[in-house]
Chains A and B, each alone.
Chain A
Amino acid sequence: MIRYAVRRLLEAVPILIGIVTFIFLLLHLAPGDPATAYFNPNVSPEIIDRMRENLGLDRPLHEQYLRWLRSFFTGDFGYSFSQHRPVADVIRDALPNTLLLSAVSLVLIFLVGCAVGAVQAVRQYSALDNVTTFVSLFVYSMPGFWLGLMLILAFSSPAMPEFLRLPISGVTSIDYEFMGPIERIVDRLRHLVLPSFALGIASAAGVARYMRGSLLEVISQDYIRTARAKGLSERRVILKHALRNALIPIVSLLGLYLPLLFGGSVVIEVVFSWPGMGRALYNAILARDYPVVMAASFLFGVLVLGANLLADLLYAVIDPRIRTD
């Protein structure tokens, strides 16, 4: 198991180098360079040339690449043009917010998805199954940004009773500094509700569909009949013998849905003014702030890679047939 994990980690290294190289080349293929981006047109060409020299842009490409690679892997992502502070600082502020939002959405996706799918499978063709199937298909086909906007309209509307109104932007309220510790947690959670819902609910609906199919297939297996023939209660048959087998294909969905989640966070963070990586990337692209774009793309790459690794490890934990080889 540990050997498997180490092997998978080592396999991730060349992929990471590939991602970094790709980002580097993409940037050099784009017209212009950081020096032209820095200065306005009436600066004389001699000064720009000297700036190039200072920045090392006159060196051969492979040399630039190696220097850049070294700094990148030591966590020096350069300097943000638009925010006038190191990219590392920008990331330090934004990354925790994105991780929090993604983690909450992920829990929502898999808890709600699996629970709904399992109930649908156990009560196949019942009214409950039909209604939840309809609702999940409806939710699944809704674009996240539109759902986000509708949620904002609904939950900030004066027509909504006071106790149901939820914050629609930011991570904390303005008076966060003056709150007690419990109030702070509640405040943060309240701010998480709408964005994580908008970000995760479509995927949750997808997971529910997969879970329903997976559990239905497992329930018809011979070993479920064996479990019943042993005299186990129906509850134990489903929760112990069927569920774990049904979860095996669902775990591999984790690797598929996480990239979707990070991609979706770009849109959802903008809609809900959530100060995370997605919004930082969006603003950096608009401002042509290349160092931030590069660092953010790289980090998203790392997150996706990490998610896939996690999915594969979970796969081995849950399915003993993977572990032995």
Chain B
Amino acid sequence: MTSPLLQVRDLRTYFATDRGEARAVDGISFEVLEGETVALVGESGCGKSVTALSILRLLPEPPGRLLAGSSVQLRGEELTSAAESRLREVRGGEISMIFQEPMTSLNPVFTIGQQVSEAIREHEAMSTGPGERGPAAAKRVAIEWLDRVGIPDPEHRYGYYPHQLSGGMRQRVMIAMALSTRPSLLIADEPTTALDVTVQSQILELLASLQTELGTAVLLITHDLGVVAQVADRVLVMYAGQIVEEASVEALFRAPEHPYTEGLLQAVPDLEERRERLAEIPGNVPRATAWPTGCRFKPRCPYAWSRCRDVPDLLRSGRAEQSAARCWLVDEPERRRSGSGFGPGSPDGRREEVGES
């Protein structure tokens, strides 16, 4: 087996807040192989974005801090202890990132062309051809990339400012900026959330085709299971700062192991089946300063029983290769049938609290 491109081991990122220490990312491990697309899925506040920013050490420290024992390795090279100068080579060079808000992610006072060529010049060795240096080469490559991401009339648009472009066009610029340095990994943090649906699928198709062309691996962060189904190879489901389930995209949609994943899937509207109300997961995500003890999903879980006071590590299930979930149901699948499951939400959106604490 080839060694993974990115290997995250026991990553813990905590924040100092007024209410105490927020354990935003609390011991997650995963890997991304060369060229594959891994989706990191979860609700707002579960730690997805913090995970992404922690990989590139882009979090403000303080208030954030990476705990000792956290490890992020890029092709075997440890990044958590890397020097700032090395991190700068990695950022935008080997690992690029695009963000949720194309409207605010570009600097309003520079032209989009200047911003793309700046990335190219910063990582000149990997972006322009051999022997090509300097601003003219960077500009040529930038225009080439604006063209590749589908911006019409790129020579002219090179001199446009971000406010002259639509949200979808700006996200294309972000993609051009991120991929122009030919990174091995692209971290896309909710890249389509702020866009409307038709533009969303265009952007996803663009990402997918460029990914095939360049062989870039993608870590896609999203809360949208539709997006996951469209592009991902493998899925990591995150809840309350931990990864609760890991599976191939087929296995996940066919047979989710973790009750949280099951709840998420049932909350997706289905065109075939008309229902008055969608099923919903009762309650809210707990606060990162006070995660529940034992299984963190226990207070919202319809199957919870006494064993949930302790929580297993990811348990491998026999049902699909590489599937694993942080839930005792993997051991005792018969409990799932006897449990009540997720029903449609009651009008007041609540149900009786299950379990103690």
Where the two chains meet, the residues of A that have a C-beta atom closer than 8 Å to any C-beta of B are 221-223, 225-233, 241, 244-245, 248, 318-321, 324
Contacts and interface: CB of A to CB of B under 8 A. Distances in A.
The 6 closest A-B pairs by CB, nearest first: A231-B92, A230-B92, A231-B91, A222-B104, A223-B107, A320-B161
A321 B58 CA distance: 29
9 contacts: A223-B107, A226-B107, A229-B91, A230-B118, A231-B90, A231-B93, A232-B88, A233-B88, A245-B108
Nearest to B120: A230
B89 A231 contact: yes
Contact of B99 (A225, A244, A248): A225
A228 B109 contact: no
A173 to B, nearest CB: 46
A203 to B, nearest CB: 25
B167 to A, nearest CB: 13
Given A229-B96, A231-B93, A223 B58 contact: no
Interface in B222-253: none
Contact of B91 (A222, A230, A241, A248): A230
Contacts of B157: none
Nearest to A227: B107
Taking chain A's interface residues, is the majority helix, strand, or loop, or is none over half, making it mixed? helix
Contacts of A231: 88-93, 119, 122-123
A265 B176 CA distance: 53
Given A226-B106, A229-B99, A231-B123, 6 more contacts: A221-B104, A222-B101, A222-B105, A225-B99, A229-B97, A231-B91
A320 B161 CA distance: 7
B221 to A, nearest CB: 14
A232 B107 contact: no
A320 B108 CA distance: 8
B177 interface: yes
Interface of B: 56, 58, 88-93, 96-97, 99, 101, 104-111, 118-119, 122-123, 161, 163-164, 174, 177
B118 A232 contact: yes
A226 B92 CA distance: 9
A319 B58 contact: no
A241 B58 contact: no
A31 to B, nearest CB: 55
B109 to A, nearest CB: 5
Contacts of B177: 226, 230
B88 A320 contact: no
A226 B58 CA distance: 10
Given A229-B58, A230-B122, A320-B109, A223 B90 contact: no
Contact of B56 (A229, A233, A318, A321): A229
Contacts of B101: 222
B104 to A, nearest CB: 4
Given A229-B97, A230-B92, A230-B119, A223 B161 contact: no
A318 B108 CA distance: 10
A225 B174 CA distance: 13
Contacts of B174: 226
A220 B163 CA distance: 19
Nearest to A245: B109
A225 B50 CA distance: 13
Given A230-B118, A232-B88, A320-B161, A225 B58 contact: yes
Contacts of A321: 108, 161, 163
A42 B239 CA distance: 100
A321 B162 CA distance: 9
Contact of A223 (B106, B122, B164): B106
Nearest to B107: A223
Contacts of A223: 104-108
Contacts of A318: 109
Nearest to B102: A222
Nearest to A219: B60
A324 B159 CA distance: 13
A221 B101 CA distance: 11
- Listed residue (A222, A231, A318) with the most chain B CB atoms within 10 angstroms of its CB: A231
A206 B215 CA distance: 53
Given A222-B104, A230-B91, A230-B177, A319 B122 contact: no
Nearest to A318: B109
Contacts of A245: 107-109
Given A222-B104, A320-B163, A321-B163, A229 B92 contact: yes
A317 to B, nearest CB: 10
A226 B105 contact: yes
Contacts of A319: 108-109
A325 to B, nearest CB: 11
Nearest to B160: A320
Given A223-B104, A223-B108, A228 B91 contact: yes
